[in-house]
């Protein structure tokens, strides 16, 4: 996210991150080198070249490769729309890094089971059909925070509170998404709970700190985590690291010390990554 802000920043704007260790283990599961090898393998078997669709939770090298190959970045909220854009143009999609988000979107798009394939981190291509007819190729990455939820958690929530609405993030396993009442991005979950109104009861399958924030913002709803699952990386950005970051700006402006911690993306990577981020915005806003 911080890299994306730096990629899209205007000249003269500086982007900082409070803690450089606040990465994403799922983003670590693919590099541009891995993706280039996977795309080269797909080029050898597909009639039309696969186009990369890369989840926002990825590093700048992946976004740059995506732009170089004519693809687009996506978020959990617009992934279906971005994938549909390329499928409608007759292009197979190479989706990374989150396999679960890719499967859940493919199902929402009605893509046949035998045209969806999984690409292992060793380069293996697995699926029930003939890969040369494949439409969706999913990199084998996942979010360990969201894969902790199970269909059993959904059943247990319904037993605890009959009539409860279960809503989960699409980074969850597709069996969990199928068992739930609803699935949505972080923003989608927020909006569903807001619109649910006072007295509504929710079991929420996403990162636990977000569920806690929802419960404090909407105390007149019954809000519980589907299971308590924390992201330790997201929690690294806290008031202390944010305060240190902001204080460094003040010191820097008065000629003091350096900025804590400025994000810099190499210019060539930045140009191609900006292309894939801007294409996402053009697709979601209907400009292409």
Shortest distance, CB of residue 231 to ligand SF4, whole angstroms?
A: 3
Name 116's bridge partners: 136
Q: Which residues are CB-contacts of 56 (< 8 A; sequence separation ≥ 6)?
A: 1, 4, 73, 74, 75
Radius of gyration of the chain (CA): 20
Position 147 contacts ligand SF4 (CB under 6 A): no
Q: Which is nearer to ligand SF4, 3 or 207 (CB)?
A: 207
Give the span between the Cα atoms of 283 and 288, in whole angstroms: 6
Candidate residues 93, 99, 138, 145; the one interacting with ligand SF4 per rule CB under 6 A = 145
d(CA 86, CA 93): 7
Instruction: Find the DSSP H helices in 11-77.
Output: 32-43, 60-68
Shorter beta-carbon distance to ligand SF4: residue 46 or 263: 263
Q: How many residues bind ligand SF4 (CB under 6 A)?
A: 10
Whether a cis peptide bond, with omega within 30° of 0, leads into 97 is yes
Cβ 180 to ligand SF4 shortest distance, Å: 18
Nearer to ligand SF4, 241 or 275 (CB): 241
Binding to ligand SF4 (CB under 6 A) within 213-252 occurs at: 231, 233-234
- Report the C-alpha gap between 144 and 85 in whole angstroms: 29
User: At its nearest, how many Å lie between ligand SF4 and the CB of residue 124?
Assistant: 24
CB contact at 8 A, 201 and 222: yes
Q: Cβ distance 138 to 115 under 8 Å?
A: no
Closer Cβ to ligand SF4, 66 or 100, answer by number: 100
Question: Under rule CB under 6 A, which residues in 14-53 are in contact with ligand SF4?
Answer: 24-26
Considering only 4, 57, 106, 276, the residue that binds ligand SF4 (CB under 6 A) is 57
Interface residues with ligand SF4 (CB under 6 A) are 24-26, 57, 143, 145, 207, 231, 233-234
């Amino acid at each position: 996210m911080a890299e994306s802000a730096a990629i899209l920043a205007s000249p003269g704007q500086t982007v900082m991150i409070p803690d450089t260790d606040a990465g994403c283990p799922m983003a670590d599961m693919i590099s541009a080198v891995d993706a280039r090898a996977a795309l080269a393998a797909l080029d050898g078997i597909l009639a039309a070249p696969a186009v990369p669709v890369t989840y926002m939770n990825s590093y700048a090298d992946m976004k740059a490769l995506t732009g170089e190959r004519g693809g687009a970045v996506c978020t959990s909220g617009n992934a279906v729309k971005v994938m549909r854009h390329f499928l409608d143009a007759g292009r197979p999609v190479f989706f990374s890094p989150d396999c679960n988000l890719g499967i859940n979107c493919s199902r929402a798009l009605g893509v046949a089971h035998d045209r969806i394939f999984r690409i292992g981190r060793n380069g293996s291509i697995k699926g029930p059909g003939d890969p040369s007819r494949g439409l969706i190729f999913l990199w084998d990455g996942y979010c360990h925070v969201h894969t902790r939820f199970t269909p059993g958690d959904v059943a247990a929530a319904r037993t605890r509170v009959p009539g409860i609405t279960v809503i989960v993030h699409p980074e969850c396993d597709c069996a969990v998404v199928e068992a739930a009442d609803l699935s949505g991005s972080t923003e989608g979950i927020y909006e569903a709970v807001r619109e649910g109104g006072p007295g509504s009861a929710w079991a929420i399958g996403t990162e636990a700190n977000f569920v806690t924030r929802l419960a404090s913002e909407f105390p007149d709803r019954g809000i519980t985590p589907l299971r308590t699952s924390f992201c330790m990386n997201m929690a690294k950005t806290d008031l202390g690291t944010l305060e240190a970051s902001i204080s460094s700006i003040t010191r820097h402006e008065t000629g003091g010390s350096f900025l804590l911690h400025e994000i810099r993306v190499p210019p060539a990577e930045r140009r191609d990554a900006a292309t894939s981020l801007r294409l996402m915005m053009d697709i979601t806003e209907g400009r292409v």
